[in-house]
Structures are given as C-alpha cells and as structure tokens.
Structure 1
Amino acid sequence: MRESLKKLRDPILIQAVIAAALSFSHIHDIADAAGQREWKAWAYPISVDLLMVMAWKMIRTDAKQRGAWFWFGLSLSASLGANVATAGVLDLGNLPVWLRVLVAGWPAVAFLGGAFMVHAQSKQKPAVEDLVDDVEEDQEPDEVEEPEPEEDELVTVAEAHARTGVNIRTARTWVWRGQLPVKGMRGRANLVSLRDVKERMTVGA
C-alpha cells in the first residue's frame, strides 16, 4: 500500500495521468462532434491510445521496426491533432467533411495497425526462441575427454629400475613384503606390473 502511495506521489506519473486524461477528453470531443455518439465517442480515445501503446511496446522490443514507428507516429498525430482541434482552431459544431471522413475511417485504420503489429510480434517469437536455444547450447559445458588408461606391462625389478628409476633393493623389499604383487615369472626372475611400481613409488615405502 505504501509503495502504491509513493508511486502516486511521483511527479512524472502524475504528469502522465493528467496528459492522458486531457488527450482522452479531446479525442472524445472530436469523435462526438463528428457524429460518433454515446459509447462510440468514448471508444475512439481508447483505440488511439491502445494503438500508441502497442506501437511503443514493439519499438522498445525492436527499434528497427519501421512499421511500429509508422503506427506510433500515426496514433500520436491523431492525439495531437485532436488536442489542437479542440483549442478553438475548428468549430466543433460544424466540422469539415474531411475530418468527419477521417474520424469515420479511423476504426478500420486502427484495426489494420493492430493486426499488423500482432502479426509482426508472432514472427519475432521464433527468432527469439532460436536465440535462447543457441545461448543455452553455448552455455553447455564442453565434454572433458578422459585420458586413456596407460597400458600395463610386466617387467623384472631390474627393468622397473631402468624404466622408472626405482631403487632395486627397495623394489625387492616391496615384493618380499607383498606390497608389490608378483604377476608372473621370466625364468627365475619375478615379473611385476610397471603400473603397480609407479603407484607404489607415489605412496612410498
């Protein structure tokens, strides 16, 4: 509630409400003077303002939309023209024929503008969805290739010393204690896994 009251105190919002009310009233007066009586006279300012809001919303989404700029300018001209016309420039009791024709034809024009912008927005949505999909694909983490396991090889203690630098006496102690399992025999020499020797070296004696 307090936030709503704060918004009502905003001078920009107050100014916008006053301007909208005056413009709304002027368009109504022109429509009424052009022969559009009762509810029809009130429908005209709603139509003009809605077309302007739709066009402005579309411009904010994509400023390159020339059609949206055209309909925004047209609705703004209609609102501005009504404001000027009710300032004593025209006799509201005897409007010129051309102005009556414009007022009578406005509903068709407004419908055309609204249909155009709705169609343009529906064409934009797939492009936006494709862009979102592309962004999501770019954000997906790259698959990390796991290194292929090193091929194991059976070697003698002396060969393990030559390949890895392990101390021969230390390696034989590991074998004797069962800390380095014997995987085979080559003559009288024990064969151990080269991978086991490397792993054991990282652990220590």
Structure 2
Amino acid sequence: MGRIRPDPVLVQAVIAGALSFAHLHDLAAAAGQDGWKAWAYPISVDLLLVAAWRRLRNDGSSRLAWCWFVIALVASLGANVVTAGFLDLRHPPAWLRFGIAGWPALAFLGGTLLAHTQSAAEAADPGLPAHVTPAPAPVPDPVVAAEPAAKPAELDAGLLPAAEPPTEPSLPAPAPAPVPAALVAHARKVADEHRARTGDPIDTDTLRARLGVPPQLADSIAAQLT
C-alpha cells in the first residue's frame, strides 16, 4: 500500500474553503437567517461559484459565466471582509439584510442561466446536444502538387528523359515433359547408330523424325542424351 502524501495546494484549498464557509454562515445568521437556513447560504454561494467556473473551463470565456462568477466571488469575499469587524453584526444594516434575503432568488436565477443557456459552439450547431463540446474538425492532409507532364517538344529536345515503355514480365520456362525410360533407351540406340554411320552426333530434328515424337518431347530426349 502506497504512502499517503498530503498535497499542500489541496490542504490550502480546504482551509480557505472552510473559513469562507464559516464567514458566510456567520453573516447569514447575523442578518436573521437562523438554523439550517444559515448553513444553506454558504452552500449556495460556493455552488454558484463552482458552476460558473466549470462553465468558463468547459465552454471558454463568456459574459454570462464571468458575470455569475464575479457575483459569487463578491458574495464570498464580502462575507470574509464584513465579518472581520467592519460592520456591527449585532445591529446589521438594512442593506445587508436586504442582500441576504434576496440571495436565494439571485442564486437560483444564476444557476438556471448557467445550466440552460447555450454556449457559442452549441448555438452555431443546433443539432448538437446540450453540454456536449463539438469535436475539432480534422486537419486535411497537405496536397502535393502533381508535376506537369512532359511535353513532346521537351522530349524531342532532350530536356527530359523519355519514359521507357513498360516491360512485360517474363514467363517462366515450361518444365520439360517426362520421358519414359524405354523411350530414352531406344533414342540412345538410334543416336549411336547415327553416329556410327555418319560420324556426327544426331541433331534434334533428325531424332524427332526417326522417333516420330513432338518437338517438345524430342527436346527433352535430346537433353537426356547429352
């Protein structure tokens, strides 16, 4: 099991979030929101802040997302400053009570707009479902310009080499026909008789005529007699 190492940035975020949460709770309680309502205010502010930041991160910069991000940030930062002793929370002013009382409706409006307002990419493509980022268009491959064909005048002048005509692939030589051993022995006797009578080795045409066989078979027999 690996050793757990705390992340300083995460620890700092937890501490800052807890302090801001407590300040918002104290401010709501001082403005007359007691019980569970005082705890709901910091949750509402933090959720609106996260929703606006997520919209900025996923869909890019937009006036709507920046507007509600700044509103939630001012609400959170204002609670931190107000609870530092700049106001007498035992006798909160009327504008503070008015702002705390109107915050739920304002947060509901902001959350609804962030959730249901189309981004610029979604508005450009009406068929795209909500909250789906369009895939980037594929980059076309670079087109290589084809070289112009050589003109006959350039070929005649010797500026460009003439294209060689395509050569047909050579076919393999046919395998020699099998020759029976008895026919080879008879052909050898005929060849010996011809040599004894003329003094010269028998040629293929004479051998074919004496044996009465096709030219291909005569070639095969002559190849075995040599």
Q: TM-score range by the shorter chain?
A: 0.5 to 0.7
Please, which of 16, 21, 40 is the counterpart of residue 18 of structure 2? 21
Structure number with the higher helix fraction is 1
Which residue of structure 1 aligns with residue 32 of structure 2?
35
- Cα deviation, residue 105, structure 1: 0.3
- Higher-strand-fraction structure: 1
Q: 2:102 aligns with which of 101, 105, 113?
A: 105
Residue 108 of structure 1, CA deviation: 0.4
Q: Residues 59 and 133 of structure 2 are in contact (CA less than 8 Å); yes or no, is this contact kept in structure 1?
A: no
Map 1:108-187 onto structure 2 (within 5 A): 108-120=105-117, 126=128, 131-132=134-135, 135=138
* 1:133 CA displacement: 8.7
Shift of 1:26: 0.2
Task: Give the equivalent residue in structure 1 for 2:85.
Answer: 88
Q: Extract unaligned runs of 5+ from structure 1.
A: 140-163, 167-197
CA–CA distance in 2 between the matches of 1:80 and 1:132?
37
1:69 matched to 2:80? The reply is: no
Report the count of equivalent residues.
143
1:129 to partner: Cα distance: 5.6
Distance 2:78 2:27 in 1: 10
> 1:85/1:2 Cα in 2 relative to 1: closer, same or farther (>3 Å)?
farther
Quote the Cα distance in structure 2 between the aligned partners of 1:94 and 1:85: 13
Aligned partners of 2:121 and 2:134 also within 8 Å: no
- Scaled by the length of structure 2, what TM-score is found? 0.56
Structure 2 unaligned blocks of 5 or more: 123-127, 141-164, 174-226
Identity of aligned residues (%): 53
Partner of 2:53: 56
Distance 1:91 1:107, change over 3 A: same
Following superposition, which runs of at least 4 residues in structure 1 exceed 6 angstroms of deviation? Answer: none
Distance 1:21 1:31, change over 3 A: same
Largest Rg, 1 or 2: 2
